[in-house]
A and B are shown apart, each in its own frame.
Chain A
């Protein structure tokens, strides 16, 4: 999920709105898979599908389905949301709910679809949905959905009658239906207080088994309410090493390999697609020399975004002018981040004359597990560009845990002035969560606390429609003109390899964290 905030760190992929789709679905299956006497799915009959996962799942609980670790196999396959996002149009569409409306500023009402059953035969009704949503809101359970898609502004879900659910919030939430598009509905089934080992949803596939470190298996749910998918069984081998996944696809052992690093983007069967995730850096605005806005501007002007995209993502991503993709509500069309090394040097000279120590050493901090980058490629490239204009920068690469701590300690003099690289995905398609999560006064990650910005965000939260988009765009502009605390670099790309000529699939913006098997077809 992006969502909100998105956890890039752990997962890294968002999807989001849409983006000028650079999908190069081109080569999809131009080739015949490489043989492979070892392939488990060699028979001509299309009864089974094999998809290599890049993450060990977080749990088998559908309340964690919004993280890419679980979403890849759960989302839309085992569990389904009340409301669906169409990633081509970004419009909401009915799924388990047939309609929804705001009955008062703090309440949204959902009418459920008739005739849907869970995998264990229990009917989908308002009580089941309300129990499930309330279960997610239990902080003790530690659901990934809570804190990423839903937050403590959501108060509770109540069954009004058998087919109607009300969800109430503490303050008005204009995008609650969008949020619910990322909440897969499962059956709480008396397991309150503990995550389940056997997910029960309403989706076209039911859970069969999970062997930690080895694989997840699902099979077709014969009583599915919608159209039955083509494949009877889907096996997801778990291979955390990206090199192992690409080797599997090269050897024809899987039909689809997900999360392929960019150097294999030209491999046979590789399909590259833009994801709604943006790489940006955060500046410690209170620490010298970054407390001088000219120095911060120079940091931004030194970044040659086009070259960055070409080198790091093999030309697959796109230079970014905001930390969200252009299809996001609130995207600032009139804000740009140009590359101008001469101007950067001039600003630095000016600051130096005023006594600012612009040559002070600092670290460019990167995350070792960032998707699509190998080792320190991303921070190294940024460092190389900063050095060009005269900054004294060096790379520091952190593991996940240290990185998370680091993100939560903006302006901490203990770490010295630093530029922290992160990736952000906003799958909700609405910029408020991004702005609040990265720049809001209350956000743990925020390097600033600015009254004017917070007022803008508060106003946007309670507004809908075009005016909301304007307010959010204004906030971006304000950040660009007055704060310069976050500097966008590039929108990222992802690659999957469709190894086998038996299947075809067209990735969309969300494909780096979900793979809807009903969109995969046998040839």
Chain B
């Protein structure tokens, strides 16, 4: 719970905002032996996918999105930059001005398709960057304190409780005003807000495995703590962390868009979907597509990753 719980009880409450996480911990307790972990997980996900229409749709969407983003960033980079003041606010769904204008144009006459694509790249980079940063740092801290136990563990968990209980956007706003908005500070703030989540899960999983036979054996053979944490514990608890990270992706993307909306997103010339919505709200009555389309993109992407996250969780649990 919440703010100030102790020790093992925390494990019961990891769920925070996402329900599915509730049973994560079961996974690693009976978990796989070290080496099989990661690639087994994805094979399992693939297996589950075959029986899940929604999962297939979500995966297809995500693959297409990634392809479009990667290819589009090259093909459309120029269109995204080229302003054409004679083509301001071209409405979408017409190829009268060329295929780049199929989704209309913005206030400076840039192709909105190109804008969306370029924004997709920045949005995905920020979200993925923040998720990875938070996962790596959070997992390391969680594993170390879980393995070491004692005072350090208590203090770390207390801090994690506070971080999770306090509205993250409020702190993010303050930090961003201090640091100044920008790509780097945005990733930093988004990652900081979510580290505690990984710390909790990693610690709970570590507590569950630290007394397992092979780890005790390593200790007996004189392996150092760091070595044990890195080579034996982390691989075992990787699956639930991967499942958590997948789930966190949508959350981080939504947080990024909210910050952009409040005017604390990345700087020009970079732009994200959230930034496009913020810009589009000024044109709602004349150019509805500028706010509508990036919002749809965010929603669809979030749904797709959440669907995928559910599959990953199932796979992680059933291993």
Contact = CB atoms under 8 A, between A and B. Distances in A.
Interface of A: 241-243, 246-247, 250, 261, 263-264, 266-267, 307, 310-311, 368, 374-377, 379-381, 384, 394-397, 399, 402
Interface stretch (B7-15, B59-67, B277-285): B277-285
Given A263-B282, A374-B279, 5 more contacts: A243-B282, A250-B285, A263-B286, A380-B83, A394-B269
* Interchain residue pairs A-B with the least CB separation, the first 7: A311-B85, A243-B281, A376-B268, A395-B268, A374-B282, A375-B279, A263-B283
Interface in B62-108: 83, 85, 88, 107-108
B263 A267 contact: no
B285 A267 contact: yes
Main secondary structure of the interface of A (DSSP, over half): helix
Interface of B: 83, 85, 88, 107-108, 177, 180-181, 263, 267-269, 278-279, 281-287
Contacts of A376: 268
Nearest to A310: B85
Contacts of A379: 268
Nearest to A265: B286
A496 to B, nearest CB: 16
Contacts of B279: 374-375
B88 A261 contact: no
B107 A374 contact: yes
A11 B287 CA distance: 27
B267 A396 contact: yes
Nearest to A380: B108
B263 A368 contact: yes
7 contacts: A242-B282, A243-B284, A246-B284, A246-B285, A250-B285, A375-B278, A396-B268
A381 B285 CA distance: 23
Contacts of B269: 394-395
A375 B268 contact: yes
Contact of A264 (B85, B180, B278, B286): B286
A402 B83 contact: no
Given A384-B83, A397-B268, A399-B263, A377 B284 contact: no
A421 B284 CA distance: 27
Contact of B281 (A241, A384, A396): A241
B85 A307 contact: yes
Nearest to A377: B107
Nearest to A374: B282
B121 to A, nearest CB: 18
Contacts, number: 55
B263 A381 contact: no
Nearest to A249: B285
A311 to B, nearest CB: 4
A377 B285 contact: no
A247 B107 contact: no
A78 to B, nearest CB: 31
Contacts of B83: 380-381, 384
A45 to B, nearest CB: 30
Contacts of A399: 177, 181, 263
A399 B180 CA distance: 9
A257 B12 CA distance: 53
Contacts of A368: 263
Contacts of B281: 241, 243
A261 B282 contact: yes
Contacts of B267: 396-397
Nearest to A402: B180
A487 B85 CA distance: 23
A402 B180 CA distance: 9
A397 to B, nearest CB: 5
Contacts of A250: 285
Nearest to B86: A311
Contacts of B88: 311
A247 B284 contact: yes
A241 B108 CA distance: 21
Nearest to A242: B282
A243 B282 CA distance: 5
B115 to A, nearest CB: 12
A270 to B, nearest CB: 11
B175 to A, nearest CB: 14
A266 B89 CA distance: 14
A396 B283 CA distance: 22
Contacts of B268: 375-376, 379-380, 395-397
Contacts of A380: 83, 108, 268
Contacts of B180: 402
A264 B177 CA distance: 30
B263 A263 contact: no
Q: Which of B177, B281, B287 has the most CB of A within 10 A?
A: B281
Contacts of B108: 311, 377, 380-381
Contacts of B85: 307, 310-311, 381
Contacts of A246: 284-285
Contacts of A247: 284-285
B85 to A, nearest CB: 4
A346 to B, nearest CB: 25
A310 B283 CA distance: 17
A246 B108 CA distance: 21
Contacts of A397: 267-268
B90 to A, nearest CB: 14
Contacts of B263: 368, 399
A415 to B, nearest CB: 13
Contacts of A394: 269
A172 B263 CA distance: 46
Contacts of B278: 375
B283 to A, nearest CB: 5
Contacts of A263: 107, 282-283, 286-287
A242 B282 CA distance: 7
A510 B313 CA distance: 62
Nearest to B278: A375
A263 B177 CA distance: 29
Nearest to B281: A243
A8 B63 CA distance: 48
B156 to A, nearest CB: 35
Nearest to A308: B85
A31 to B, nearest CB: 15
Contacts of B284: 243, 246-247
Nearest to B275: A375
B288 to A, nearest CB: 12
Which of B180, B263, B282, B283 counts the most chain A CB atoms within 10 A? B282
A423 B83 CA distance: 23
Contacts of B287: 263
Nearest to B180: A402
A243 B281 CA distance: 6
Contacts of A375: 268, 278-279
